[in-house]
Amino acid sequence: MSDEGAPGVLVLAGTPIGQAGDAPPRLAAELAGADVVAAEDTRRLKRLTTDLGVTLGGRVVSYFEGNESARTPGLVDALLAGQRVVLVTDAGMPSVSDPGFRLVAAAVERGIRVTAVPGPSAVLTALAVSGLPVDRFCFEGFLPRRAGERARRLADLAGELRTLVFFEAPHRTEAALAAMAQAWGEDRTAAVCRELTKTHEEVRRGSLRELVDWAREGVRGEVTIVVSGAPGGPSVAGDPESLLAAVADLEEAGTTRKEAIVQVARAAGVPKREVYNLVHGS
């Protein structure tokens, strides 16, 4: 509980993505001992505390995308007053494609301690069960809803060598997979992970073409998409002509110039600055 005269602590509490039994014991302790619990959905919080057998002693406030900006200053004031604020979202870790980043940034700016209760992660769970390479990956969150913006984002990622992870709404899953197939080729390998850890958990693996056909029948539940990275990487000699040609080839394939420079420098084993200077004529 609060300690008058000392700054409080912001606790980002990871919550189960499916089964309440996956919650770590510390989650129950943090919720019970909080001065303030900020919840993305107070009704879901109530169900969670019931499942965990927790009685909340502190006050509960809603904290979701629509009121994040307005609620953050009050929560920072509570932290500065020495209170322990626990932030929970509907599932997973706060601030990762969920509300929380504004509060974390504001707390850090004021010198307030920020800690976390680790919990289940849809990103890591999907990676683990996908069957795709997991040694290097990048998380892209949700793709843009508009087709043009989505196509541009995917074009930027065309040369990405790491495994890619996305969240997607079930009713947009077919369109997202189709856009990926168009941008990266129908044969790119992927996995659609649906309702992870829940009763109706399903993992569909195959080419993007096969997954588009599957999704056409309709998709339900929480969806995480894992896609293999671009096949191989550029084999590049270190001479200027080869470096420039490799960057140009990647750009033509849809990779941004910045990422193309990074990839070519890595493949050729030369400093990124050297490739940058060649491309920009400096």
Residue 1 has pLDDT above 70, yes or no: no
- Cα distances (angstroms) measured from residue 105 to each of 15, 36, 73, 88, 154: 21, 18, 11, 16, 28
Is the alpha carbon torsion for 242, 245, 250, 256 positive or negative?
Answer: positive
Residue 56 has pLDDT above 90, yes or no: yes
Per-residue model confidence (pLDDT) at position 264 = 82
Quote the tokens at residue 100.
Answer: 């929380």
Mean pLDDT of the region 8-16: 96
Per-residue model confidence (pLDDT) at position 52 = 95
- Mean residue pLDDT of the chain comes to 92
Quote the tokens at residue 119.
Answer: 């919990």
**Digit-coded pLDDT (tens) for 245-270:** 888 888 887 778 888 888 788 777 78
Decide: 243 and 275 in contact? Cβ < 8 Å.
yes
Burial class of residue 274, CB neighbours in 10 A (0-12, 13-18, 19+): middle
**Digit-coded pLDDT (tens) for 129-164:** 999 988 889 999 999 999 999 999 999 998 888 999
C-alpha to C-alpha distance for 60 and 45, rounded to whole angstroms: 9
Per-residue model confidence (pLDDT) at position 239 = 83
Half-sphere exposure of 11 (CA within 13 A, CB side): 24
Mean pLDDT of the region 22-33: 95
> pLDDT band at 203, cuts 50/70/90?
very high
Per-residue model confidence (pLDDT) at position 277 = 92
The CATH class for the domain spanning 128-150+161-227 reads: alpha beta
Per-residue model confidence (pLDDT) at position 96 = 87
Per-residue model confidence (pLDDT) at position 237 = 67
Per-residue model confidence (pLDDT) at position 233 = 54
Q: Which CATH number fits domain 9-120: 3.40.50.720, 1.10.3720.10, 3.40.50.300, 3.40.1010.10?
A: 3.40.1010.10
Decide: 46 and 25 in contact? Cβ < 8 Å.
no
Structural domain boundaries in the chain: 9-120, 128-150+161-227, 240-279
Is the alpha carbon torsion for 104, 138, 120, 216 positive or negative?
Answer: positive
Residues 6+ apart with CB under 8 A from 97: 141, 142, 167
Residue 200 has pLDDT above 90, yes or no: yes
Residue 206 has pLDDT above 70, yes or no: yes
Q: What is the DSSP letter of 144?
A: P
Per-residue model confidence (pLDDT) at position 269 = 72
Residue 232 has pLDDT above 80, yes or no: no
Strands 59-62 and 189-194: unpaired
**Digit-coded pLDDT (tens) for 269-282:** 788 899 999 999 86
Please report where in the chains the tokens 């969150």 appear, as a residue. 141
